Amino acid sequence: MRKLSIKLGILFCIIIFGLEAFMFSYLHNSIVNARIDDELSSLQARGNSHRDILEKHFVEDSISHVILMESEALTDVVIVNQKGEVLGSSFDNENFKKYLIYPQKTEIKKKGEIVEDDWKNKPYIITISPILQKKEIIGYVYMYQETDSIHTLIGRLNEHFVLAGIIALLLTFIVIILLTKALTKPLVKMKEATYQISKGNFLVDLPKTSNDELGELAVSLKELARDLNFLKKERNDFLASISHELRTPLTYIKGYADISLRKNIEEEEKEKYLRIIVEEANRLSTLIEDLFELAKIDKNTFLIQKQQINLYELLVKLQIKMSPAFKEKEIDLTINCPRTSSLHGDPARMEQIIFNLLDNAMKYSPKNSKVEVIVTARKKETEIIIHDNGNGIPEEDLPYIFNRFYRVDKSRTRSLGGTGLGLSIVQELVQAHEGTIRVESKLNIGTTFILSFKTYGGEVN
Ligand SMILES: Nc1ncnc2c1ncn2[C@@H]1O[C@H](COP(=O)(O)OP(=O)(O)OP(=O)(O)O)[C@@H](O)[C@H]1O
Ligand SMILES: [Mg+2]
């Protein structure tokens, strides 16, 4: 769980500490170099000002005056003539001579030169200033400064740097820890939430903290949990309905089979019961077929092979096929369809759709009523209307009639024997055809289903 934050933390540490180290060393170098440059130029300036005095009076008095001035200071002076012979120095001993480099080149600029600037390894930094009279060099002023003082100076600077570095490191470390925590906390929460979801707990709580991608992810996760919850509930309802639907006919079958097996039963009775058993078995097999149909649609293994269908022929075929049932109930089925009207769809599926709707119209209409199919063909769309003067559907049931296993009459109407799957199959099939289905109904007046499909496949010119 902490892996991501550790990785992020280490990455931040490497990057930020690297940057800090680079900046600190750059700053340190610049400060040290600037310091040394300052020291060297002030040494040079001091030498030059001694030189200026000596240029005016290059006599014993001036030389000892200069030496006296230097013996009080932290710097030292050595005055030589043009041959390099020492005329005077502010040193107590002769050690300085080792570092006295007599200029090989005669040309030394008036403003002087740096003879030694290696403060790290040598005991002195040294500058030279030429003494000129009438454009002739008559001697040199050497200025010495012990590098010990520079070392102490740099040492103090280093101490400051170490302190500042430690404080910077500590602060960065704290900031990195807080930052990685803040960054990974919502992720960790979401990880826990997905774990909960996978365990089947869909009531995850993810506060929407930010408006960025992480916040959006949290919202999507919540939606996912809600959808999964809905699906789970729907699946449970569906399974409950299926088991109920399967159990009821089976109870009948078992009950009537038990009765038929009794010895003292009359032949006539027995036949009646066996007929019920056959009826129930038939109902079971239709139910299973319907469920299979729905499962195929759900799994998308269901293929729609569209072609141009002549609607008139399809309707007439259906009318002939269903006429015995309609005749039995003395319901008049009329078809009102232009002979040429055609439609883009799968013929078998289209037949299934209209068959189901006509079956309903017949089942839920009283004897001697009328059922009508009206086709209106337009250029782009073809409308099929199935109208009956039957029982109608109460307004409060209308939104649900396309749900699986939904029946207006909740009691199992033995005579009609519907399972409530017909309309949900119809709806799925219509949607698979990219068509639409609507229903209008008035209780005890009648019901109208309005279907709309594309007239032609592809673009219509
Ligand atoms: N034309 C209609 N007139 C009145 N009620 C209807 C009509 N069509 C459907 N219904 C109501 O809608 C319910 C659902 O219809 P659906 O076709 O889905 O199921 P079913 O006819 O009961 O069973 P199945 O079609 O699976 O055998 C029906 O039970 C019925 O109450
Ligand atoms: Mg039906």
Q: Are residues 231 and 366 in the same domain?
A: no
Q: Are residues 131 and 218 in the same domain?
A: no
Structure token digits, residue 211: 């408006």
* Alpha carbons 406 and 388: distance in angstroms, whole number: 20
Q: Determine the pLDDT at residue 458.
A: 58
Residue whose CA is closest, atom 9 of ligand 1? 360
DSSP bridge partners of 285: none
Residue with tokens 């289209």: 350
Residue that finishes a domain, picked among 130, 153, 176: 153
Residue 426 CA: which ligand is closest? 1
Residue 407 is assigned to a structural domain of this protein: yes
Residue 88 is assigned to a structural domain of this protein: yes
How far, in Å, is the centroid of ligand 1 from the Cα of 201? 36
CB 322 within 8 Å of CB 358: yes
Residue 388 is assigned to a structural domain of this protein: yes
Residue 461 is assigned to a structural domain of this protein: no
CATH no. for residue 422? 3.30.565.10
CATH no. for residue 100? 3.30.450
Q: Are residues 140 and 266 in the same domain?
A: no
Q: Are residues 287 and 336 in the same domain?
A: no
Number of structural domains (the chain) is 3
Residue-range definition of the domain harbouring residue 256: 213-296
How far, in Å, is the centroid of ligand 2 from the Cα of 360? 5
Q: Determine the pLDDT at residue 105.
A: 56
Q: Are residues 256 and 377 in the same domain?
A: no
Residue that finishes a domain, picked among 153, 185, 202: 153
Verify whether ligand 1 is closer than 6 Å to residue 369 (CB atom).
no
CB 217 within 8 Å of CB 204: no
CB 424 within 8 Å of CB 434: no
Q: Are residues 356 and 323 in the same domain?
A: yes
* Alpha carbons 422 and 355: distance in angstroms, whole number: 10
Q: Are residues 52 and 108 in the same domain?
A: yes
DSSP bridge partners of 203: none
Residue 382 is assigned to a structural domain of this protein: yes
Q: Are residues 416 and 360 in the same domain?
A: yes
CATH no. for residue 231? 1.10.287.130
CB 53 within 8 Å of CB 62: yes
Q: Determine the pLDDT at residue 459.
A: 46
Q: Are residues 55 and 148 in the same domain?
A: yes
Alpha helices in 300-395 (DSSP H): 311-328, 347-363
* Alpha carbons 117 and 37: distance in angstroms, whole number: 9
Residue whose CA is closest, atom 4 of ligand 1? 392
Q: Determine the pLDDT at residue 406.
A: 87
Q: Kindly report, residue by residue over 152-205, the tens digit of the pLDDT.
A: 989 999 999 999 999 999 999 999 989 888 888 888 888 888 898 888 888 877
Verify whether ligand 1 is closer than 6 Å to residue 245 (CB atom).
no
Q: What is the DSSP string of 127-176?
A: EEEEEEETTEEEEEEEEEEEHHHHHHHHHHHHHHHHHHHHHHHHHHHHHH
Q: Determine the pLDDT at residue 74.
A: 85
Q: Are residues 256 and 335 in the same domain?
A: no
Residue that finishes a domain, picked among 153, 180, 195: 153
Q: What is the mean pLDDT of the chain?
A: 87
* Alpha carbons 314 and 320: distance in angstroms, whole number: 10
Residue 27 is assigned to a structural domain of this protein: yes
Q: Are residues 308 and 254 in the same domain?
A: no
Verify whether ligand 1 is closer than 6 Å to residue 80 (CB atom).
no
User: Which of 386, 395, 401, when mutated, tests ligand 1's pocket best, judged by the most ligand atoms within 8 Å of its CB?
Assistant: 401
Q: Determine the pLDDT at residue 295.
A: 80
Residue 232 is assigned to a structural domain of this protein: yes
Q: Are residues 331 and 375 in the same domain?
A: yes
Residue 179 is assigned to a structural domain of this protein: no
Mean pLDDT by 10 residues, the chain (461 residues): 78 91 94 93 94 90 89 88 86 80 69 88 91 87 90 92 93 90 84 88 77 85 88 84 81 89 88 89 86 77 83 94 91 94 90 93 94 93 95 93 86 65 90 94 95 77 41
